[in-house]
Amino acid sequence: METGDGDTGNKHNRNGDIERSSVIQSSVGRRRFLQAVGASTAVGVAGCSGGGGDSGPITLGAAYILSGFASLYGEEAERGIEFAKSRINENGGIDGRDVEVLVRDTEASGDTAIQQIRSLVQEDNVDGLFGLDSSGVAQAVAPQISQLQMPFMITHAATPFVTSPQGEHEDSVGNEYVFRDSNSLAQDIYGAARVAEELDATEWATIGPDYAFGYETWDYFQAYCDGLGVEAEFTAEQFPALATGDYTPYISSILDADPDAVLTPLWGADLTTFIGQAESAGWFDQIDHTLFSVGMGTDLPSDGSPIPEGEYASTRYDPFVPDTETNNSFREAYYEEYGTLPTYNAEGAYRALYLYKEAIESAGGTDPSALVDEFTGMEHSGPVGDYQFSETNQATVASIWGTVTYDDEWESNVLDPVNRYEAGPDVLSEALGDSDLPAGI
C-alpha cells in the first residue's frame, strides 16, 4: 500500500547483510512466536533475553527506507554499513567484540519506523541505533527515542527540528538522545543561498515533495536569502505528493511562471522521474539555473535520468573534498568494492559505526547513558572531514555545493568545481537574520 498508510506498522526487517544466517534468524523467530502465543493464552511470560551484555557481539539497530520510491537510499546505507562492519571486524572489532547490524525498513512512514525501532530495542536488545532517511519520519521518531532512552545517530534525515531542543520552536523535537552526523537542511540550504548570491537570478521558484522537508527547504531558503541580503523574489511553488509518478502538470505550472532559477528538494526515484519529465518539457532550456538540494545522493546510485551538466547540486559528503588520506582511501576502497563512488548515505552510515566504535571503546561498554555522554560534544574525524557535535547534537559539517560535471574517469557525475561553506552555529544564526526558524545546531 502507499507510503504513509502504515497503520499498524509492518515489520520488514532485513537482516544486516552477512551476520546471523537466516537459519538462526528463523529459529529465533519461531521461538519468539511461540512465546507470543504463550503470552496470549496466559501461559506465562518470557523475559527479555540476551543482548546488552559485556561479551558476544555488539548489536546495533538501523532503520532506513528499504522499499518504495526511495529504496535506493536504504540500499546505499546498507553498503556503507556492510563496508564499515567488515573493516571494523577485520581489525579487532569494537574492544575485541564483533559488531552486528540489524537493518529494518521504515517504508518512509513514521508509524512503521517507530514500531521498527521499538522492536529493535525491545525485541532484539540492540546496543545503539542509527539511520533514518526522511525528515517527516525523523520528526515522529525523535520523541520516541528519548522515551526509549537509547542513543540515535541520524545519518541522513535533514530536518533542523530534530537537533533543535524541544521548546525552541513549536516544531522542535530535539533531545539529549538524538544526534546527527550528516549535515542538516539548515546547513544545506545555507549553502543554496550562498550559491544564489552568486547567480544572476532574481525570480526563484521551488518544486518539492509535499511534506515537512519540501516546505522547510523553501522556508529556510527564503529566510537565508533575506538574512544574507540576496536580491530574490519568490514567484512560484509546487508541492506534489511523494511518489507522484507524473510531474508534468507541476512542471508545466512552474514553466508558466517562468522563473530564473528553481530550487528543488525532490529526492529518490521522484527526482529521477522529475528530471526525465522536465527534460522533455524543455525545462533545462527555459530555466537558467536549477539547484538540486539532495541531488548527488540520488544521482550517483540511480540509473535513470542523470542531472544535466552545468546545474547545481549539493551533497552532504563529497568523495574528493576534503583531499585527505582518510577520504581518499575510503573512496578508493569503496569504489573497488562496489564499482561506484560512495554517496553521502553510504558515508553517513559508515561513519555512524565508527562513531559507535569510538564511543563504546571510550566508555568501556554499551551503557546507553554512557554512550550519550560520549557522543555529546564529541570531536570526530571521518571521510567527510573533522567535525564536532554542537550543543544541540548536530555535527558541525560544511555545506557542500557545486556544479554538476560528468567525470570520465569515474564514469559518473561529480561536483566540479565544488564549494564548502562552513556552517557552524554562529554562521547559521547570523544568516537566518530575523527569522524565527531555528538553526538546529
Partner 1 sequence: MSATGIGGRVSQFGSAVAEGWTRERFGLIGAVALVLITFGPPFQVYLFTDFLVVALFALGFNLLYGYTGLLSFGHGLFYAGGAYGIAIVLRDLGPIIADIVGAGISPLVTFVVGGVVGLVLVVVVAVPVGWLSVRLEEIYFALITLAFGMLGYSLIIQDPAGLTNGTDGVIVLLGTVDLGGTSIRIGGRRLYYVISAVTVVAATYGVWRVVNSPFGTVCKAIRESPDRAGALGINVRHHRWMTFIISAAIVGIAGVLRAGLASVASPGLTHWSTSAIAVIATVIGGATYFYGPIVGAFIFLYIRWAISRFPTLEAYWELFFGVLLIAVVLFFKQGAVGGLYLLRDRLFGEGDIGGANGGGGGAFDAGSQVTTPPDEEAKSSNGDVRTDRGDNS
Partner 2 sequence: MIGIADVVIGLSLGSRLFLIAVGLSLIFGVLGVLNFAHGGFYMLGAYVTLAVISNVIDNFWIAAVVGALAVGVVGAAIEFSAIRRLYDRVDSDLDQLIVTFGFVLVIHETVRFIWGSGSYSIDPPDVFNFSVSLGGSTFNAYRLVAIGLAVAVLVGLWLFITRTYFGSLVRGTSSDREMAAMLGVDVPRLYTGVFFLGSVLAGLGGALSAPLQATSPALGDQVIITAFIVVVIGGFGSISGAFVGAMLIGMMQSLGPQFISSGSIAIPFLAMVIVLLLRPEGLFGGIGE
The residues that touch partner 1, with contacts defined as CB under 8 A, are: 1-2, 4-15, 22, 25-26, 28-30, 32-33, 35-37, 39-42, 44-48, 67, 109-111, 114-115, 118-119, 122-123, 136, 139-140, 143-144, 147, 173, 210-212, 215, 241-242
Select 75 or 358, whichever has its Cβ closest to partner 1: 75
Asked if 324 and 423 count as a contact pair (C-beta separation under 8 A), the reply is no
Cell numbers at 196, concatenated: 544564489
Angle in degrees, CA 76, 81, 82, rounded to 5: 100
256 binds partner 2 (CB under 8 A): yes
Q: How many whole angstroms separate alpha carbon 126 and alpha carbon 60?
A: 5
Among 71, 116, 155, 394, binds partner 2 (CB under 8 A): 71
Instruction: Determine how β-strand 312-315 pairs with β-strand 379-382.
Output: unpaired
Out of partner 1, partner 2, none, what residue 272 binds, judged by CB under 5 to 8 A for its kind, is partner 2
Residues in contact with partner 2, shown as a per-residue x/- string from 304 to 343 under the rule CB under 8 A? xx--------------------------------------
8 binds partner 2 (CB under 8 A): no
290 binds partner 2 (CB under 8 A): no
Select 37 or 257, whichever has its Cβ closest to partner 1: 37
Select 246 or 430, whichever has its Cβ closest to partner 2: 246
Q: At what angle do helices 325-338 and 71-90 cross, to 10 degrees?
A: 110
Q: How many residues bind partner 2 (CB under 8 A)?
A: 31
Question: Residue 84 CA to chain centroid, in angstroms?
Answer: 17
3-state secondary structure of 96: coil
Select 238 or 394, whichever has its Cβ closest to partner 2: 238
Asked if 109 and 4 count as a contact pair (C-beta separation under 8 A), the reply is yes
Instruction: Determine how β-strand 128-131 pairs with β-strand 152-154.
Output: parallel
> What's the sign of the alpha-carbon dihedral 141, 143, 149, 154?
positive
What is the side-by-side strand order in the sheet with 312-315? 233-238, 203-207, 261-264, 289-292, 312-315, 399-407, 412-421
Q: Residue 361 carries which DSSP code?
A: H
271 binds partner 2 (CB under 8 A): no
- Report, in Å, the least distance between residue 65 CB and partner 2: 10
7 binds partner 2 (CB under 8 A): no
Q: Footprint of partner 2 on this chain (CB under 8 A)?
A: 1-3, 67-69, 71-72, 238, 240, 243, 245-246, 248-250, 252-253, 255-256, 269-270, 272-273, 276, 280-282, 286, 304-305
